[in-house]
Amino acid sequence: MRRRALLASGTSVLATTVAGCTGLGLNPSAGSSSLVGTAPAARLSMQAVTPAELPSKLLYAVQASEKARLLDRILDGGAAVDGTRPPLPADRHLLHDGTVYQLAHDVTARTPATRYSVKVDIVEGPVDESETVRFSDLPKVDRETFAEKGLANGETVGIGTAFLYTDAERNRSALVPESDYSVIRWKDGSRAKWVVDEAHSATVDTYQYTGERIAPAAEYGRRVRERFAFELSGLSEAQREIVTTAVEESHYLVDSGETPPPALVSLARRFRRHEHPTALGEDGEGARNGAYLVRFDGTLYWTVLMVHDESTRTETRTA
């Protein structure tokens, strides 16, 4: 199935959303009890949303400047980039600057490498000068590796991190696999202890990326709305009170240890008759909980339902 046939089935969007969302769209400021400590027994949160805002809730958003620059290069005709993992996701939709894109990549080369767990540590006590090396005297490959970690100026010490060297780079290094130096000194007099803890084999892949434009964010959001939104009407008085609370107070919460009221359980059963774009699966938590698109009293809501109660497991799913 061609990816540009957006929302031809629920599968592509489900996969996109599971990979691209964190916390099912929950805003940490909307109540910390579900994020820290014991999870609540139930939660219903409802946030008014426009179609143009939906992609930011569903998709991987390219925000970091380095990744944004890479994406621009890809869209400008393709780009190759090296790494131990893909720097940008492929085979799913992503959001950048108000537009939804689709990337694809092929691995065109694989280079053996080694990942070193190291400490750039604080120097304590006197140091033998024969074990000290000036940073400016290190080979270029070592200086560049420090720079990639933001450690080229000697100001940040007392940290543990990982340095990656290809086999060719390792042969040019003065620090790995073994070093004659235990201390590095910078021009300003800063010093750091160099300690290699562990070494593990790795592979640097060359990813050849291509990309295509799918749709403006607003158009994509309208398609998502058409595919997933459902009308929430005909509510009982108790159900409407729950929904109104979720709308007006950002969420309706049932504390841990309490039993969700029958009106909320019946709402949960009603919700689960519909697809939701952040489904985690067809069994367990994913079948019961997730984010839905709900139309209520003429407004579209990004609605997150979490119900941890055995009484909701007995429902027979219906289309």
Segment 27-76, tens digit of pLDDT: 322 333 334 457 789 999 999 999 999 999 999 999 888 999 999 999 99
Whole-number pLDDT of residue 91? 82
Of 91-105, 220-234, 279-293, which range is least confident?
Answer: 279-293
Residue type (1 letter), 272 = R
**Helix/strand number for the chain, H first, E second:** 9, 13
Which one has a higher pLDDT value, 97 or 21? 97
| Type and span of the H or E element at 140 | helix 140-148
Helix, strand, or coil here: 199? strand
| Most confident of the ranges 10-14, 248-252, 309-313 | 248-252
Confidence of residue 137 (pLDDT cuts 50, 70, 90): very high
DSSP 21-56: -SGGG--GGG-STTTSSSPPSEEEEEEE--GGGHHH
The CA distance from 51 to 62, in Å, is 19
Whole-number pLDDT of residue 100? 96
In this structure, what token pair is assigned to residue 28?
């940490």
DSSP 75-113: HTT-EEEEESS-SS--SSEEEETTEEEEEEEEEEEEEEE
Burial call 207-237: b when 16+ CB within 10 Å, e when fewer: bebebeebbebebbbbbbbebbbeebeebee
Task: Give this prediction's pTM.
Answer: 0.72
List pLDDT tens digits, range 89-132. 998 899 999 999 999 999 999 999 999 999 999 998 888 899 99
